[in-house]
């Protein structure tokens, strides 16, 4: 395994909602993390966030993650940051507290460490005051949950060096995040400026009894909330301008900004009555679900959205889904392949988990997802023998021309899945393979797939012999697999005696 990120040691100062999310993001990217948080239950809280994050990643990707980094809780800021390459401050949003903590970090951190602050709105220049090495401090403003939402706004202060900003961006990009550099510092940066405007208006709508909190959330999640995840604001409105695009949109809806529709400049008074009103409506909306349960529902939904975006734009990926696809590609490259696999047994090619979107009305994994997992297994075999994306771009590929799938048992939500591949025979043009899929801790065999693949010249659109470079990788595996017993079920036809007798 080659290193995924330019950093291998991080420190998280503050391990609450956001600090815990950073801890999970770093650990699951293979980075060791030291944490300092004086809260008496900090270890439990971080462990719970981490458990949710691991569950979400199990659903998010079938690509093997690097070995999890080592997690250490420390008794002081100094101990936590002493050998860190990236330090992330996530203490409560108070300037005096942050300055005090950042001064401690500044005094004990290695001279070339990157120091990011999770602040939601404080100016980095204000955080830099009094530091010995302010050039390495910047804002890395993330979004909750940090382990799933990839964006961090990178904002430099007056003293932040350009090298710090560039290194911070590289380090975030390498762990599957999107470091977006904000050109000039401003309170609340870009994201929280927008969110505050929406939040302020929402509070007025509740205070004025225009709607309750559930109705307001429904208005968002059944409409523009769905649009925002994939196209943001400006591209969405460009489309809303019709064929004339953005200019027409501005001409049509620009004037109503002068009326105006909103109360954005007034601040609602969050008096006791309004806090209680919102609290009670929010309790009713939650229908007894705990925060951890809601987090898991949120994470499953986010995983589904990310996976849908990964399949977007004809399979190239779109937005955050494209970022996920690129991260998975880096994970594959850093994991390495061919040399690590034992070819004297069926090849263990895919490990994944039953995702929420894979469950059907019968309460277990739906049939086309079996084909998806077996397709991924075939793709993994093809990568192993060198027929990877670069090979396909060069004009050759293997196409699947026949599949026989057998369903032997049920696979349930969240269960671990493991797929193996045995090569039954090969010749210059064909590969005949047999996949087996196992589920759960007991490795129950839940399905098999027998497939015939044909080597093709994709431009000419016809079968052609595979080149020696591919066959040289394929033959040793096929020779080794010829020594194995023929798998039970290989060569079976639909309706063969055993299944008919059971009816
Ligand atoms: N909650 C959110 O949605 C987001 C919060 N942020 C920012 O992240 C930062 C942290 O916020 P949350 O995680 O929400 O707060 P939180 O209250 O969940 O966590 C803060 C943690 O800091 C710890 N802490 C307090 N004093 C400390 C000290 N001297 N040294 C080390 N740890 C200390 C607390 O024990 C607590 O565990 C804030 O700057 C906030 O603006 C950023 C993005 C989103
Ligand atoms: C409410 N908040 C200002 C702390 C929100 C954020 O900073 C970002 C987010 O996750 O919404």
Residue-by-residue DSSP string for 210-272: S--HHHHHHHIIIIIHHHHHHHTTHHHHHHHTGGGHHHHHHHHHSGGGGS----TTSPP---H
Ligand lying closest to the C-alpha of residue 193: 2
pLDDT of residue 131: 97
Residue 14 among known ligand-binding residues: yes
Residue 19 among known ligand-binding residues: yes
Contacts of 441 (CB under 8 A, 6+ apart): 416
pLDDT tens digits, one per residue of 474-501: 999 999 999 999 999 999 989 876 644 4
The CATH classification number of 192-288 equals 1.10.1040.10
357 vs 429: which has the higher pLDDT: 429
Q: Which of 22, 144, 146, 148 to mutate to test the pocket of ligand 2 (most atoms within 8 A of CB)?
A: 144
Q: How far apart are CA 18 and CA 93, in angstroms?
A: 11
Ligand lying closest to the C-alpha of residue 142: 1
Ramachandran assignment for 288, one of left (phi > 0), alpha (psi -120 to 50 degrees), beta (any other): left
Confidence class for position 66, pLDDT limits 50, 70, 90:
confident
The CATH classification number of 337-502 equals 3.10.129.10
55 vs 452: which has the higher pLDDT: 452
Residue 15 among known ligand-binding residues: yes
Average pLDDT over residues 123-135: 97
Atom in ligand 1 nearest the alpha carbon of residue 121: 41
User: Is residue 189 lining ligand 1, measured as CB closer than 6 Å?
Assistant: no
Ligand lying closest to the C-alpha of residue 139: 1
Q: How far apart are CA 113 and CA 86, in angstroms?
A: 6
H/E segment holding residue 309: helix 291-310
Q: Is the pLDDT of residue 2 over 60?
A: no
Average pLDDT over residues 322-334: 89
Ligand lying closest to the C-alpha of residue 199: 2
User: Is residue 39 lining ligand 1, measured as CB closer than 6 Å?
Assistant: yes
Ligand lying closest to the C-alpha of residue 140: 1
Atom in ligand 2 nearest the alpha carbon of residue 143: 10
Topology of domain 9-189 in CATH is Rossmann fold (3.40.50)
Atom in ligand 2 nearest the alpha carbon of residue 141: 7
Confidence class for position 353, pLDDT limits 50, 70, 90:
confident
Atom in ligand 2 nearest the alpha carbon of residue 149: 10
Question: What separation in Å is there between the alpha carbon of 119 and the centre of ligand 2?
Answer: 9
Question: What separation in Å is there between the alpha carbon of 482 and the centre of ligand 1?
Answer: 59
Q: How far apart are CA 310 and CA 113, in angstroms?
A: 34
Question: What separation in Å is there between the alpha carbon of 191 and the centre of ligand 2?
Answer: 8
Secondary structure of residue 305 in the 3-state scheme: helix
Q: How far apart are CA 344 and CA 337, in angstroms?
A: 15
Question: What separation in Å is there between the alpha carbon of 27 and the centre of ligand 1?
Answer: 19
Average pLDDT over residues 146-167: 98
Atom in ligand 1 nearest the alpha carbon of residue 89: 9
Question: What separation in Å is there between the alpha carbon of 43 and the centre of ligand 1?
Answer: 15
293 vs 357: which has the higher pLDDT: 293
Confidence class for position 333, pLDDT limits 50, 70, 90:
confident
Atom in ligand 1 nearest the alpha carbon of residue 13: 31
Q: Is the pLDDT of residue 90 over 50?
A: yes
User: Is residue 18 lining ligand 1, measured as CB closer than 6 Å?
Assistant: yes
Name the residue at shortest CA distance from atom 10 of ligand 2.
143
Long-range contacts of 303-311 (CB under 8 A, 24+ apart): 303/56, 303/59, 303/60, 303/148, 303/355, 303/356, 303/357, 304/355, 304/356, 304/357, 305/229, 306/60, 306/148, 307/60, 307/355, 307/357, 309/229, 309/230
Question: What separation in Å is there between the alpha carbon of 330 and the centre of ligand 1?
Answer: 31
Confidence class for position 336, pLDDT limits 50, 70, 90:
low
Compute, in degrees rounded to 10, the torsion defined by CA atoms 26, 31, 37, 43.
90
Question: What separation in Å is there between the alpha carbon of 476 and the centre of ligand 2?
Answer: 55
pLDDT of residue 5: 73
pLDDT of residue 117: 98
Separation of CA 171 from chain center: 16
Average pLDDT over residues 297-312: 94
- DSSP bridge pairs for 447: 407, 437
Q: What is the DSSP letter of 413?
A: T
Q: Is the pLDDT of residue 340 over 70?
A: no
What is the domain partition of the chain in residue ranges?
9-189, 192-288, 337-502
Cα dihedral across residues 353, 51, 10, 129: positive or negative = positive
Structure tokens at 412: 């349930």
User: Is residue 279 lining ligand 1, measured as CB closer than 6 Å?
Assistant: no
Pocket of ligand 2 (CB under 6 A): 120, 143-144, 192, 195
Q: Is the pLDDT of residue 276 over 70?
A: yes
CB neighbours (10 Å) of residue 113? Answer: 22
pLDDT of residue 501: 41
pLDDT tens digits, one per residue of 5-23: 789 999 999 999 999 999 9
- Does this complex have an ipTM over 0.90? yes
Same fold for the domain at 9-189 and the one at 192-288?
no
Q: Is the pLDDT of residue 210 over 50?
A: yes
Q: Is the pLDDT of residue 337 over 60?
A: no
User: Is residue 17 lining ligand 1, measured as CB closer than 6 Å?
Assistant: yes
């Amino acid at each position: 395994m080659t290193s995924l990120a330019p950093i291998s040691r991080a420190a998280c100062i503050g391990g609450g909602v956001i600090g815990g999310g950073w801890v999970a993001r770093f650990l699951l990217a293979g980075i060791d993390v030291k944490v300092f948080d004086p809260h008496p239950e900090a270890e439990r809280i971080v462990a719970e966030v981490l458990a949710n994050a691991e569950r979400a990643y199990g659903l998010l990707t079938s690509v093997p993650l690097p070995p999890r980094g080592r997690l250490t809780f420390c008794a002081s800021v100094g101990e936590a940051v002493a050998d860190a390459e990236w330090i992330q401050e996530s203490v409560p949003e108070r300037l005096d507290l942050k300055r005090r903590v950042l001064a401690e970090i500044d005094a004990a951190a290695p001279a070339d460490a990157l120091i990011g602050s999770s602040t939601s709105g404080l100016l980095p220049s204000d955080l830099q005051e009094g530091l010995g090495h302010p050039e390495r401090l910047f804002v890395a403003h993330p979004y909750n949950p940090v382990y799933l939402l990839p964006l961090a706004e990178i904002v430099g202060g007056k003293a932040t060096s350009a090298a710090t900003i560039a290194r911070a961006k590289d380090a975030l990009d390498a762990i599957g995040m999107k470091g977006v550099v904000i050109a000039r510092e401003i309170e609340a940066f870009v994201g929280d400026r927008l969110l505050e405007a929406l939040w302020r208006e929402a509070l007025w709508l509740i205070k004025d009894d225009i709607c309750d909190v559930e109705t307001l959330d429904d208005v968002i999640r059944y409409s523009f909330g769905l649009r925002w995840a994939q196209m943001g604001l400006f591209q969405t409105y460009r489309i809303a301008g019709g064929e004339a695009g953005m200019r027409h949109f501005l001409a049509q809806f620009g004037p109503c900004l002068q009326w105006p529709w909103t109360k954005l400049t007034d601040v609602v008074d969050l008096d006791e009555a309004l806090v209680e009103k919102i609290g009670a409506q929010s309790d009713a909306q939650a229908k007894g679900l705990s925060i951890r349960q809601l987090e898991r529902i949120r994470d499953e939904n986010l995983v589904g959205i990310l996976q849908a975006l990964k399949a977007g734009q004809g399979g190239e990926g779109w937005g955050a889904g494209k970022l996920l696809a690129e991260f998975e590609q880096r994970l594959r490259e850093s994991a390495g392949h061919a040399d690590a696999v034992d070819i004297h047994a069926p090849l263990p090619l895919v490990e994944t988990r039953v995702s929420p979107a894979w469950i059907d009305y019968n309460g277990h994994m739906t049939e086309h997802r079996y084909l998806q997992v077996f397709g991924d297994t075939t793709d993994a075999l093809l990568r192993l023998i060198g027929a990877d994306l670069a090979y396909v771009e060069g004009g050759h590929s293997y196409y699947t021309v026949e599949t026989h799938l057998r369903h032997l048992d049920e696979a349930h939500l969240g269960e671990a899945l493991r797929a193996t591949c045995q090569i039954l025979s090969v010749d210059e043009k064909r590969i005949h393979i047999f996949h087996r899929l196992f589920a759960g801790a007991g490795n129950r065999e839940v399905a098999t797939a027998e497939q015939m693949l044909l080597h093709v010249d994709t431009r000419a659109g016809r079968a052609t012999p595979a080149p020696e470079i591919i066959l040289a990788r394929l033959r040793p595996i096929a020779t080794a697999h010829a020594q194995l017993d023929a798998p039970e079920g290989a060569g079976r036809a639909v309706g063969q005696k055993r299944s008919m007798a059971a009816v």
